[in-house]
Structure 1
Amino acid sequence: MSSPTSAPVATPGFTPFDGRLAVGLSGVLIAALTSGINDRVTEITLIDTLGVFGLGHDEGSWISTAYAAAEVSAMLIAPWLAITFSIRRFAIAVTVAFTLLGVIMPLAPNLQSLLVLRVLQGLAGGALPPLLMTVALRFLPWNIKLYGLSAYALTATFGPNLAMPLAALWTEQSDWRLVFWQIVPAGFLGAALIAYGLPQDPQRLERLKQADWRGALLGMGWISMLVIALSQGERLDWLNSPLIVAMLTGAAICLPLFLLNEWFHPLPLFKLQLLARRNFAYGLITLCLFVIVATAGSAIPAAYLIETHHYRPQQVMPIALMIALPQLLLAPVVAFVINRRWLDSRYVLATGLALLAIACAGGSFISSEWIGEDFYALQALHAFGQPMVVVPLLMNATGVIAPMEGPFASAMVNALRGMAAVVAGSAVENFVTQREHFHSSVLLDAVGSRLHSLSPLMSQGSMAELAERVRAQAFVLSFSDAFLALLLVIAVLFFILLTLPIRAYPPQPPVTP
């Protein structure tokens, strides 16, 4: 690991912390978590809700795609809008809009109106996680800033893993409309807490004269086109689809133009110059790769149990809760531990990566006999390892960011993290599918000659049973391969940790003259 190049310099300008600010931060946290949970719950329950709307799978897939594209796009522009119109006003507006859209969502009369509502809700919901980081960086005093960042870490560890239990609750134990209405109490509570607790910073409407409209258009363009290509690529057969080719080509054109515009714009959405700071660059790279590991860590066991043993979401619930619930305690505990000058947070991060590596190595031994209980130990390792990675990397990345640079950092971190989540979901799904096809071919070739000689003696039922057993075994092998692939990602994370970041110290009190 690299040695520190200089001692940390404390940054003045923090507002004094009081109880009202804690209430306001809690409101933003509730709203941000509700946004992330809503995204995952509606995606998990998509099959159950499509029938209610009279939609097929192909039509319904666009509902998730539209939301994801709008959500990640909003993460790009939300911090800029929040500073321009005031964080408090903007946070209240998007939280209320997000909640009200959830109220009317089940009342949509057709696919077109449902897609419009999902896009609008995605824009409102995607704006909330960046606000949480912006508030933590701008308003929290030095002595509790790490605890604010640990609250933000919950959006990456707690929220996504709570979605499966809630999906099971609403689809199997209650009214399907609660899939959309579940956000209403938390949404209005979050808005009320924000209105009470967040400081009222002034509007800065003069920023509109320098608005980066070109950057917003290019940035939202490449994000939306790439999300569409990734989420619809497998269904439309990738490069054999003119739509996917057009989306990938458009994203490839817009992305470099966006980066070039941001480098020279006086008031950009992405302040690319921040990447010159090693720890910030490290935080971005590590967070994006970590999202792949965290997403797959919960998705693979659930997919295996659903595919191989036909589990319902309610039966998968304990697997997700094994990761989700401990985060409420472990995230602040990790913040407490690394908030010590004598402890190098990089060693805590390395320990977290080691726990995740052990979990993935154990998962690679998966067999068709595994049931839900066999994943408990692996999920416990994820529960401890994930906050030990996320909280230290946030401290490393944001320690080189001044409070007034918080919106720039928040836009980059959240937009790339949101895109990484889309990439992770697409990568896991496509990897498992491709490996299943490969293993099916190998297994069928291995038994082909024997099957040919025995086929006259076998009934159609026996043949079908054999084909099903081959398919099931191919899926098991593909899930094992997926765990091994995650080990490669973790190995890359270890290499980056050993070479890129310098030591980061906890936030320090302001320097007084």
Structure 2
Amino acid sequence: MTATFAPNLAVWLTGLWTDGLSDWRWIYWQVIPLCAVAAFFVGWGLPKEEVKYARFAEGNWLGMFCGVISLLLLTIALDQGVRLDWFNSPLIVVSLIGGVILFGCYALTEWHHDAPFIKPQLMARKNLLIGTILLTFLLVVLMSGSMLPSNYLAGLQDYRVMQIAPIGLLIALPQLVLGSVVALLLYQKWVDSRVMLAIGLGIIALACFSGAQLTPQWNRDQFLVAQLLQAIGQPMAVVSILFLMTSVLHPSEGSYFSGAINTFRVFGSLIGGAIVGQLLTVRSRFHSDMLLDHAGIVDGAIPQALDASTLGTTVAQQSMVLSVIDAYLVLGVLALILIPLALMMTYVPAPDLTKS
């Protein structure tokens, strides 16, 4: 739900605050009532136990300090890298170097600490190592279902956020049902979760190739097929990955896995946004240069050449369309590349629910 439902629902929530209430700052305030509801259910649902104050002294607080600062620096670098032109910005360089060094310190202290917050040793298990790599790159691929159509519709068709929201909801709302359906299928003896994962990746790739048919005439309705394919493929891929990863864990290791997988989930989304943003920037610049060169070559052969203003607008529109198409193709190919990696994971049979 956090990997597929929340990012696509976020577009609708953003539109609700910016277009509905006309105050974008509500985007930052909305967390307060949601967290209050979550806190209530946590307090009501968890077992009532006394706070064990002695355990606070056992925590890896030095490592946690390094980890928090490193994640902050890496987030700044990944989030602002495209805007500040990466290594041409001292802020990005310092953030990346400092973030990597501090994260290494965090991982080292966690490895040797008696009571770590996460256990790096878990990555020695095949399904956890491959699953982590798969999930990180899959979150990059999933940018094709949210970031690409949003950028195109806002940039070329002048859609407002609330007008783009149905694009995200086409993926988000089906997850409420399809996620459970996929989970039920994975509990059937005849279903191989690796094959389910591979099929999901194939459907996501098909969605990307469908989006790559983009033209300047497309509006929101033309994304329907690609988004519906995303809505089917995403739960098949994500739920299957989590099934294959959690099945090799002991219940007592669940807390370590939860912290690790959520860290990678957040970074996967940030890396995805950075990669796709940089890809769009580079390819848009490339296509713009090529189109302008071509226009200069054929200018003399056209009786009624476009004026400079019209030519600039046309080139900008065409370069945006072509860059989005390139991004769709790259992410589609990446989804296909992940399929052999998915099939390399260790087979996990469905649990026998008849046994007590």
TM-score range with shorter-chain normalisation?
over 0.9
TM-score normalised by structure 1 residue count: 0.65
Contact 2:145 2:168 in 1 (8 A): no
Q: Pick the aligned partner of 1:417 from 243, 265, 268.
A: 265
Letter of the 2:21 counterpart: S
1:264-343 paired onto structure 2 within 5 Å: 264-343=112-191
Contact 1:395 1:506 in 2 (8 A): no
1:354-373 paired onto structure 2 within 5 Å: 354-373=202-221
In the TM superposition, what is the alpha-carbon distance from 1:279 to its structure 2 partner?
Answer: 1.3
CA RMSD of aligned residues (A): 2.2
1:36-185 paired onto structure 2 within 5 Å: 154-176=1-23, 178-185=26-33
Q: Distance in 2 between matches of 1:207 and 1:356?
A: 45
Structure 1 residues 404 and 190: alpha-carbon distance in aligned structure 2, compared to 1, 3 A threshold: same
Contact 1:263 1:271 in 2 (8 A): yes
Structure 1 residues 221 and 349: alpha-carbon distance in aligned structure 2, compared to 1, 3 A threshold: same
Q: Distance in 2 between matches of 1:420 and 1:470?
A: 33
Q: Distance in 2 between matches of 1:475 and 1:175?
A: 28
Q: Distance in 1 between matches of 2:292 and 2:162?
A: 34
Per-residue displacement from partner, 1:438-492 (whole Å, max 9, x unpaired)? 111111111113336779x868xx2101111011101111001001110232123
1:227-242 paired onto structure 2 within 5 Å: 227-242=75-90
Q: Is 1:480 paired with 2:328?
A: no
Which stretch shifts more, 207-216 or 292-301?
Answer: 207-216
Per-residue displacement from partner, 1:194-239 (whole Å, max 9, x unpaired)? 2222222453433323221222122223222111112222332322
Q: Is 1:506 paired with 2:354?
A: no
- Secondary structure in 1 matching 2:188: coil
In the TM superposition, what is the alpha-carbon distance from 1:336 to its structure 2 partner?
Answer: 1.1
Q: Which residue of 2 aligns with 1:467?
A: 312
Q: Distance in 1 between matches of 2:16 and 2:95?
A: 37
- Secondary structure in 2 matching 1:155: coil
Per-residue displacement from partner, 1:282-308 (whole Å, max 9, x unpaired)? 221111111111133211011111111
Unaligned stretches of 5+ residues in structure 2: none
In the TM superposition, what is the alpha-carbon distance from 1:164 to its structure 2 partner?
Answer: 1.2
Q: Which residue of 2 aligns with 1:440?
A: 288
Q: Which residue of 2 aligns with 1:489?
A: 334
Contact 2:127 2:244 in 1 (8 A): yes
Q: Distance in 2 between matches of 1:488 and 1:458?
A: 38
Q: Distance in 2 between matches of 1:200 and 1:290?
A: 38
Q: Distance in 1 between matches of 2:290 and 2:14?
A: 36
Contact 1:222 1:254 in 2 (8 A): yes
- Secondary structure in 2 matching 1:368: coil
Q: Distance in 1 between matches of 2:196 and 2:184?
A: 12
Contact 2:202 2:336 in 1 (8 A): no
- Count of aligned positions: 355
Q: Distance in 1 between matches of 2:319 and 2:66?
A: 42
Letter of the 2:12 counterpart: P
Q: Pick the aligned partner of 2:201 from 353, 356, 359.
A: 353
In the TM superposition, what is the alpha-carbon distance from 1:370 to its structure 2 partner?
Answer: 1.1
Per-residue displacement from partner, 1:133-158 (whole Å, max 9, x unpaired)? xxxxxxxxxxxxxxxxxxxxx11111
Q: Pick the aligned partner of 2:74 from 226, 243, 251.
A: 226
Structure 1 residues 224 and 182: alpha-carbon distance in aligned structure 2, compared to 1, 3 A threshold: closer
